[in-house]
Structure 1
């Protein structure tokens, strides 16, 4: 997949969760940890205490949402915690399914997909917010004049076909007294944003940190309508780091070690965005280096933002978004939000 398409990953994974959630529920019944976690549980690798081998599976192709993980691996922060961490891509099954089934110990996920999973009894838990506030929104070329949600009327939206997409668009349009029924919604599959808005659609849902920054680099001016400008309930955590309940119960020291090293990696990216970008570029040379550098500069201050520490999550954020999903009939029942996430493994 071309990295420029990664801007749409949040809602695509939400769509995927709607397909996989029943399979995930079946996986949730498997409480056997993967073989890698059956090794000794040491916190430091020494001559007589080997490093604990674990995997963290990405949500999509590598991008600056993942920089802290690459920094933690390549700067030795995971090894300092006694871990030998392999960063892998999800393939067809998806990160959530791999984490829930135990085929990977950790993964990059989203509040929206974890919410759907928890409702279906899937034992996946968020252990850290990668970015403190939702940086996604609806983007369109400046020339199309879509600078407010009511101007979605009569326009074509290109998405993935998930119910949450129409619900979010409707929510924003209601604030302006507009009718979502007047929006033409089509699926654009893997089409690139910049190609699609010239050929098939008027607007799409993107992460500004990747696709928005790429638009800047290309000199293509866009209107960006951030979800958070229209509803506090849509200021959810996307993405997050996740594990499963079995790891939390049986291997809490591994979860703590992983989270501590990841926190150090993301803090490094906050403090040293230029060098952190070079770490990602070296690790993934197929990425557009100019885009990685510009994206990292834009995103690094937003990892922690106004939180007291990187990764910290609020119960109110989980409750607000789950409440919004329930109100829009995207959940069959209310979420036990306090079980969907934990701050317990974050370093003080």
Structure 2
């Protein structure tokens, strides 16, 4: 799985390009009088079955532990309890954001950076919950490369996917240590993953530790990790988030509330019972490496909620800070209307 290749702004660029009845009780013997319990069973079997509302949820990438709460909510019946029949689907070529904005999916997994850039260009998508409270991404390198701080990027080769955001991130971190970003060689490695790239001519790459970092631990390939949020509060943005469209919020607010409530239960389950949650994801997606899923889930579960008062909570300051950072680095051409980019209105009062 190439989780390290989840390039938020690359995904956004793609997104912007696409603006019964029950079983009857046994009949009593002829001439016999039905018992109260039999009568109750018969009545229950004839009671109308509540119709579930079909809902599509699109992932941002192949299934991984960012998505565990959704799979738990489906497996444990939390979605059904809210009257929802949820189908979890993979993104099309246009990306998850485009499917959410167009209505091809009712809900989906997105990123703060993606929603920010999308809304600047008119994509009507809104974040309704932060999956993880703090940014777990950063620049990783094999220990042998001796890259322990942004200053050590000098005279090294970075392997990426060609997004302007990468250059801005590298420059921003290096400036905190008065290092020269012009001394970094940037190479587009396409679809190559971290492990393949660093065995060739690449010194460091941008990854999410919860998957690629944990995978490196399991492989016995130690790495140095430089987290983005260690060097700037503005880079401690929400990645990933759950999102929906403005149309859904306006026309079906009760549905948005029901989905968010069930998802919150799913993620709270993953917080409280990481091993059980991991097994649910493994059962749902048997192609995943069970050891990686289990280890990743144990690492990530306490980070879903972290220091927030409840799972999913989003702060206006986080959205404002990152939008200003993007504007300062010319990744946006105008200010973001922050108050329309996210909402906490649909979160339950508590995830418990």
User: TM-score, normalised on structure 1?
Assistant: 0.91
SS of the equivalent of 1:309 reads coil
1:130 touches 1:238 (CA, 8 Å); kept in 2? yes
Where does residue 335 of structure 2 map in the other structure?
334
Verify: 1:16 aligned to 2:17, yes or no: no
| 1:194-242: CA deviation from partner (whole Å, max 9, x where unpaired) | 1110113000000000000001111111000000110000000000000
Where does residue 237 of structure 1 map in the other structure?
238
Give the structure with higher Rg (CA).
2
Query: What's the RMSD between the two structures over aligned residues?
Result: 1.0
Q: How does 1:198-209 map to 2 (within 5 A)?
A: 198-209=199-210
SS of the equivalent of 1:86 reads strand
Where does residue 96 of structure 2 map in the other structure?
95
Verify: 1:150 aligned to 2:151, yes or no: yes
> 1-side partners of 2:109 and 2:229: how far apart?
22
Query: Gaps spanning 5+ residues in structure 1: where?
Result: 25-45
SS of the equivalent of 2:18 reads helix
How many equivalent residue pairs?
322
Q: How does 1:26-175 map to 2 (within 5 A)?
A: 47-175=48-176
> 1-side partners of 2:4 and 2:327: how far apart?
26
SS of the equivalent of 1:205 reads strand
Verify: 1:190 aligned to 2:191, yes or no: yes
2:15 touches 2:97 (CA, 8 Å); kept in 1? no
SS of the equivalent of 1:198 reads coil
1:215 touches 1:221 (CA, 8 Å); kept in 2? yes
SS of the equivalent of 2:298 reads helix
Q: How does 1:301-340 map to 2 (within 5 A)?
A: 301-340=302-341
Stretch deviating more after TM superposition (91-100 or 60-69): 91-100
1:186 is displaced (CA, Å) by 1.0
1:159 is displaced (CA, Å) by 0.6
Query: Gaps spanning 5+ residues in structure 2: where?
Result: 20-46
> 2-side partners of 1:295 and 1:109: how far apart?
20
1:48 is displaced (CA, Å) by 4.5
Q: 1:47 to 1:185 in 2, by over 3 A?
A: farther
1:57 touches 1:104 (CA, 8 Å); kept in 2? yes
2:14 touches 2:94 (CA, 8 Å); kept in 1? no
SS of the equivalent of 2:296 reads helix
Where does residue 31 of structure 1 map in the other structure?
none
Verify: 1:6 aligned to 2:3, yes or no: yes
Where does residue 25 of structure 2 map in the other structure?
none
1:22 touches 1:120 (CA, 8 Å); kept in 2? no
User: TM-score, normalised on structure 2?
Assistant: 0.90
Stretch deviating more after TM superposition (260-269 or 182-191): 182-191
> 2-side partners of 1:99 and 1:248: how far apart?
12
1:304 touches 1:310 (CA, 8 Å); kept in 2? yes
Stretch deviating more after TM superposition (123-132 or 91-100): 91-100
1:53 is displaced (CA, Å) by 0.1
SS of the equivalent of 1:320 reads helix
Where does residue 283 of structure 2 map in the other structure?
282
Where does residue 44 of structure 2 map in the other structure?
none
